[in-house]
Structure 1
């Protein structure tokens, strides 16, 4: 009996669920018609009456359903919306009697009779203009609903998985709908929900959710944001995506009420920021920054983790072109962290701790694989990022504690593999430590890292590998064994050591204890001058030693007039006026070195084909594009002026992508031939997929021209040498020196 009773209960549940599904399926047959909705409501009410009769007829079975299927008993007719597209409330149905809405329904119904149902009705420019005029003049809710429905149709145009018969629209109608909605809808929704014309925070939306206006019109806000998100995933033109993101920035505060949409928007914006080209990364970053400012804790953690992960993925490989883009991404990360420094400190502490654990593993394991995890661009660029972050926020109490552990990590990385092949990496670490010391006004013994380099045999003996190609130490971490023996590598290393050592000493050239700080560096520099056999290096070192001695005399003369000790707090104000005016000998000397280093870097960039003209435009356009959001309405029409419609065949996208690749390849082939093609190629690294067609793909005639230019440069340099040096170099290259004819 019990089994029969259970079987009958299951049958009744299945019958009840089938009736509910039938009612819902009747509603989904035609979303554009509201007449079928009454049928589903009648069936739902009949089902509710059956449940009431069941309670009186069989109370035991009703209790069983109440215990095992409570949702079935709590079903009511309010679960079915009056408008499945926007979820209209019952008291808003009367707004559909607007003349503009009636005109839209009338034209759609007549066109449906004339054409096949699969094609749908046609949306004309006159209909869209009538809605826009009605919204501008009277702000009627019926016209707003019709325009938002047209906006949804435009965003989902051509989708095969659409559940309704979409209306047919031309490209002009699509452009008109998209530009008007993206430009005007934020102000319209703010006016309807009684929000301020601009700005707002998360607390404003939380207070608004309890008002009648929000309960009445929140479905319109969700429709606008949801459809905009859909079209962002469909568009491929960077200009259109940038315009859409700039307009959505003003409505990002509404996302506080829709957490699911907020997460999707963050994911899309992070993707565009990390992989986009042109002005798209700037627009995506400004959108993320506005989200963090207005919504606060709802999106801070996700945005901070997302931008750091995207930065790491983009910094795995470096050359002269990509280096500028990596700097732009790093500046964006630092700027975003400044929105909430306490939260940023928590993330920075975890990320720096991860770097320390990787270094500890390399020190303990001492294997090639462990060393490779440290000596790679991804790791070094992360150190650069946190160095810049600490320099930017060193005055804030939240970021000051991070300076010491980061300094220890950088020093450990510099000493991990003390060989001449890793001199570029050690110099990079010295630069980072100099920046941290200058920003935090803390003494860091950078001179020991630099002076140890001068004592290695590779910099103390004459080069055996010839002149060699010019070396750009900013775009490499490791050099080959052949490059270490060249004259160009020796010069680049020694001059870089002099520059970084002078930077370090110039920071403390106004300190009361400068004589004690500079004593050991000056002594070791004199030892290098005696030991080296290269005259040009000896000449540069003597010049630096003279500046150190002059600066020591400068500080000692001032120190003889004071009575406090170096560890007294008053010592911080020693030579404060001279420091502001920059009158110390080392300050003047470092200015000359910076100019020389800048000229050398410019020469390397001009001689490299890997330097892009557009890669450095991101930072310059941040302020420019920040103001473009307030541009007049004509900008939207200009952006959406193409014949693009979402949902086209994917084969069209592939063909366009292939055409763009061919065009970019043709542009690379038309570049003028320049010298030193291989200077900036990072050794032992594989370039990423977005850098196809690099130097290795250049045509053979171009390589021949480059070799000819390099040969002429060598001849010019040899003409400046003495005949003895030329003959020695020719003997090293395997050439026989020419015999001089004896004259009588």
Structure 2
């Protein structure tokens, strides 16, 4: 009978085909078995990885003094009859792991894990296996031993030094375990390709992270390794995608010259695949992929510039086609989540670079694309898209310190949309635009549509004004905004809408008076940009009326 812990695990029989551990060929999918590893052990191993490395040196001299003879040859000893592993065997191995500094115990444990992997993957019967497993307790015990001890044993055996760009293949004792280690990593990759349980995937990814550097000594495994890591990086489960990314970033920071270009292309392709549709279910995943992919791009600014330049150029060409020929096909090509999420990725990259970076030169063309996208079809059905674009521009402006005019695109809505028109359809109080680019004609007839427009205009104007609230030009820059808001209040007949806009109107007026009062206290030389910047920073540190109001509103939203 299967144990309870085995029954908890789920599997997927249609995942990528596993690698044959003997000849590197792709095997046919087979039904997967059960896997159990103590999660507590894996977490402890993951957290204590640096401690294991730091304790390596005390074993170095002892290992160098020992010279294994025949028992360390890579040629496996084929037993006519497979040795049965018992709980007593596992206890003996655990003791040997503490005392035996040769490769012998490593081979024993990895050979046993190979038998476990064959059972998990349900591969066709393999002859001449050195061990056999007959109960679930031993099955789980082997995996637990590997998770708990393999990272530390490998670090001691191969003399892995902390913070070093370690290459396992150059270690003196690496040839003694080369084939065994290759099969071990192949087994882990095969299991990662097949298992669907988030808990099991997390445990294996944490385990892999501890010795991920050693995988680069087996170039033949790279394609399969990165393929499965990128697949898991796009997982719906947060803990899985985070741990997959930690493995990716650890490899790229150490071996980026050899793998970064191809890795970025593969990750960008996967990002585009996932980002074609935005739903509440994958919203967090797409945001994580944006931020993490931008982080990897920032490892090499020149390479990132080349990738970003080509992709931004393609975005511009698509937008030009839609502007010249406004047919449905061209419009749909740019008014899509794939297009907008591509813009979001490159904006995430650009806004996290310093002014002197070559990537920053792509800021202007990207902003031009966003503003042109707003102007392409400025009708009310595409207001959700407009709000997404305005939010992008605000974020870019705030992070880069670049002035980008956003207010006109928001005030235009207050000027031209008829908020007094009665909507007869009442389905909900508000409509979320988070995962929407356009609304249908039916949705436009809902009262919730008007409510959401006002909420978004209010929120975005507040963000823009708060961003500029400490600027020395604020009183003059926001004269037109005050006039437009006043005009809206004069014609709007909906009390709840007037209340919101009047609130933001009053706060902007209060901030204008505050900045003007502070500005009158000093003599300003407009050519002295350093003095002006210092004055603005001082004002920001003190806090402006708009900043304080924005913080209050944000806290209220969080509490809700």
Normalised-by-shorter TM-score class: 0.7 to 0.9
Change (3 A) 1:148 1:383: same
Contact 1:131 1:144 in 2 (8 A): no
Displacement of 1:372: 1.0
Displacement of 1:260: 1.7
Contact 2:107 2:177 in 1 (8 A): no
CA distance, structure 2, for counterparts of residue 467 and residue 473 of structure 1: 17
CA distance, structure 1, for counterparts of residue 421 and residue 387 of structure 2: 21
Kindly indicate whether residue 535 of structure 2 is the aligned counterpart of residue 578 of structure 1: no
Equivalent of residue 277 in structure 1, options 224, 237, 245: 237
CA distance, structure 2, for counterparts of residue 290 and residue 483 of structure 1: 47
**TM alignment of 1:108-507, pairs within 5 A:** 109=80, 112=81, 122-157=84-119, 159-161=122-124, 164-166=127-129, 167-170=131-134, 171-196=136-161, 198-201=162-165, 204-205=166-167, 209=169, 212-275=172-235, 277=237, 279-394=239-354, 397-459=357-419, 461-469=420-428, 470-507=430-467
Kindly indicate whether residue 515 of structure 2 is the aligned counterpart of residue 560 of structure 1: no
Contact 1:182 1:248 in 2 (8 A): no
CA distance, structure 2, for counterparts of residue 409 and residue 190 of structure 1: 51
Contact 1:270 1:307 in 2 (8 A): yes
- Secondary structure of 1:464 counterpart: coil
Larger displacement relative to structure 2 (531-540 or 282-291): 531-540
Displacement of 1:265: 0.8
The answer for the alignment partner of 1:522 in structure 2 is: 482
Change (3 A) 1:290 1:396: farther
CA distance, structure 2, for counterparts of residue 278 and residue 530 of structure 1: 49
- Secondary structure of 2:85 counterpart: coil
Contact 1:199 1:250 in 2 (8 A): no
Contact 1:462 1:534 in 2 (8 A): no
Change (3 A) 1:134 1:319: closer
Displacement of 1:418: 0.6
Larger displacement relative to structure 2 (212-221 or 493-502): 212-221
Q: Looking at CA atoms only, which structure, 1 or 2, has the larger radius of gyration? A: 1
Structure with greater contact order relative to length (CA < 8 Å, sep ≥ 6)? 1
CA distance, structure 2, for counterparts of residue 503 and residue 149 of structure 1: 60
Change (3 A) 1:536 1:174: closer
Structure 1, unmatched stretches of 5+, are 1-27, 29-90, 113-119, 603-744
- Secondary structure of 1:306 counterpart: helix
Residues 108-158 of structure 1, C-alpha deviation per residue, up to 9 Å, x if partnerless?
54xx4xxxxxxx653334344434433422224333333332222222237
Contact 2:335 2:437 in 1 (8 A): yes
Displacement of 1:406: 2.0
Residues 356-410 of structure 1, C-alpha deviation per residue, up to 9 Å, x if partnerless?
2322222222111111122122222333333333334456725422322221121
Displacement of 1:421: 1.0
CA distance, structure 2, for counterparts of residue 285 and residue 479 of structure 1: 35
Residues 597-632 of structure 1, C-alpha deviation per residue, up to 9 Å, x if partnerless?
657xx5xxxxxxxxxxxxxxxxxxxxxxxxxxxxxx
Displacement of 1:247: 1.1
- Secondary structure of 1:279 counterpart: helix
Residues 189-247 of structure 1, C-alpha deviation per residue, up to 9 Å, x if partnerless?
33333332x5532xx31xx6456433444334323323322333343433222212211
TM-score by length of 2: 0.78
Contact 1:363 1:416 in 2 (8 A): yes
CA distance, structure 2, for counterparts of residue 363 and residue 535 of structure 1: 39
CA distance, structure 1, for counterparts of residue 398 and residue 522 of structure 2: 25
CA distance, structure 2, for counterparts of residue 556 and residue 509 of structure 1: 11
Kindly indicate whether residue 70 of structure 2 is the aligned counterpart of residue 94 of structure 1: yes
Change (3 A) 1:360 1:141: same
